[in-house]
Amino acid sequence: MKQLSLTGILFVAVLNCFSQSAPKSAIIEIPDLLYVNEAEAENDSLQRLNLVIPEGVENFPLLIWIGGGAWSYVDRNVEMDLARKFAAAGIGVAAVGHRLSPAIWRDSSLTTGIQHPKHIEDIAAAVKWLYDNAPKYQYDRTKIFIGGFSSGAQLAALLSFDNRYLEKVGLSTDLIKGIIPISGTYDIVNYYEVMKNSDRPEMADLHVKAVFGENNSDFIDASPITYLDSLSIPMLVMVDRYLINYTKIFEEKLMETSFGDFQVLYIHNLTHGELWRNISRKENSIYRDMIIEFITSHTQS
């Protein structure tokens, strides 16, 4: 295990040099790919993914990316800047949408939606579609990574730790080469308690129960930390300054296992939104460079 702090001037300089010297690839964008059968699609606009790939390249790695939005207002289309940046660096990106939960706390009209495990079942279906279609789009299905931001981080971790969802579609977590969860929550029991004791205690019911169900057993089932007994996939964890406590709980649980192939980066100088914008939109991002390096280093033979 490595806990990192990006305060070293030399380390920053090295990563900036890497970013400026990395060759740029032309890219191809294929939006709105339906990853379930049309007859099974509950919401034709949500159960889709946007694929962005480097042009004229074969056998490149693929990052399956799940955007944030409190499991309730996730929009794959706002992840396109991020997808383009990685594709230009030679890494294909599938920005995956999924069905959404109610969010009346955000918008009084958002009264209907799904609950866990429907979100993660959508992600598993998208992984299955991407695995099956690798030859068509020329990415290497032995170089598949999964990551996400905020609510997407919880989904990426859960899919990678709990093999039930990929097994249901005929796959295994063994296909995942690396995990990149960023600024997520990994213990839903704790997440519920934090909301319950916050200055908006109604969020415990309006948000957490609306997403995950009514009972403590539902929260445990949806918590990535429930499934840490057989970790085997390398992991790069990042977190902004607002969600540090959630990641500390996650790291403490990881430290209790015998698994050691993970890095945790606490980014104290950026807020939740600032970290997402840095990775997604900044021309030169040391945090995006770290993800690229993580993917590159784990695809070398």
List, run by run, the mean pLDDT of 10-residue segments along the chain (301 residues): 42 44 81 93 91 96 98 97 98 98 94 96 98 98 98 98 98 98 98 98 97 97 96 98 98 97 98 98 97 96 54
**Omega prior to 117 cis, within 30 of 0:** yes
Per-residue pLDDT at 299? 94
Strands (E), 8-126: 27-34, 48-54, 60-66, 92-96
Strand partners, 146: 64, 179
Give the per-residue pLDDT at 17: 44
Q: What pLDDT sits at residue 42?
A: 82
What local confidence, expressed as pLDDT, does residue 12 receive? Answer: 42
Please give the pLDDT value at position 6: 43
H-only helix segments in 3-90? 9-21, 80-88
Within 8 A by CB and 6+ apart from 18, the residues are 289, 293
Q: Around 188, how many Cα atoms within 13 Å sit in the side-chain half-sphere?
A: 30
Q: What pLDDT, on the 0 to 100 scale, is given for residue 68? A: 98
Q: What is the pLDDT of residue 7?
A: 34
Q: Which pLDDT score, from 0 to 100, does residue 22 have?
A: 55
Q: Which residue has the tokens 């033979």?
A: 301
CA dihedral sign of residues 175, 160, 298, 292: positive
Q: Are 259 and 232 in contact (CB under 8 A)?
A: yes
What's this model's pTM, rounded to 2 decimal places?
0.92
In which order are the strands placed within the sheet that holds 2-4?
A: 2-4, 262-267, 235-240, 176-182, 139-149, 60-66, 92-96, 48-54, 27-34
**pLDDT given at position 11:** 39
